[in-house]
Amino acid sequence: MARYTGPVCRLCRTEQKKLFLKGDRCKSDKCPINKKRGTPGKDPKARVGKRSEYGLQLREKQKLKRTYGMLEKQFELTFDKALRMPGITGENLIKLLESRLDNVVFRMHFASSRNQARQLVTHGHFTVNGKAVNIPSYEVKPGDVIEVVEKSKKMVAILEALKEVAKSGNYPWVNVDIDAEKGTFVSYPERAAIADLADIKEQLVVELYSK
């Protein structure tokens, strides 16, 4: 499947927001957002000004889509599914994005970024409820157990990423056993509990697709 292969820091600069696409680098002084670098392009100042309603909606959609590393068609399909679900469409969309296997692997600290998590899943380093799954978009359900396969439990990348559990603990909606290198997706997260999406207004995304 096609995927974005360009410089990911450029995406953060475009949105002027940390999308946490490069793991530990995003938390360091090397992050271009920390350095207050402007938006990419030959004349960034030419694009500074009041955005239209459509422009605001588009930027919120791009932030959300890029945060989870998705391309347009896949994101649209996820939105269509959220629209058919009972409840608030925006919150349903966030729940579906958070329940993607690559995102759950990232939230469980088996990977330092969603990009790395996607690669690890694709290469077959995880099982879901004991069955091998190598599809990053696989929808994880509450109660599902994600475990590192036996042959991958000594991978340096995974062991290094797991150190973050000791530093910051588990997210409230997942439970991780560091020693066993497995975790449980306890429940869909409450919208207010997702701190790194606090400044994203998913209702604007709903309005954009509702036109």
List, for residues 72-103, the tens digit of each pLDDT value: 999 999 999 999 999 999 999 999 999 999 99
Asked if the model's pLDDT at residue 58 lies above 70, the reply is: yes
DSSP letter for 23, please. G
Round to whole Å and give the CA distance between 166 and 35: 28
All structural domains of the chain, each given as residue ranges with its CATH number in brackets, are 8-97+197-209 (1.10.1050.10), 101-185 (3.10.290.10)
| 158-202: pLDDT as tens digits | 999 999 998 888 999 999 999 999 999 999 999 999 999 989 999
Q: How far apart are CA 127 and CA 146, in angstroms?
A: 6
Q: Are 188 and 173 in contact (CB under 8 A)?
A: yes
∠ CA 179-182-185, rounded to 5°: 135
The pTM of the full predicted model, rounded to 2 decimals, is 0.81
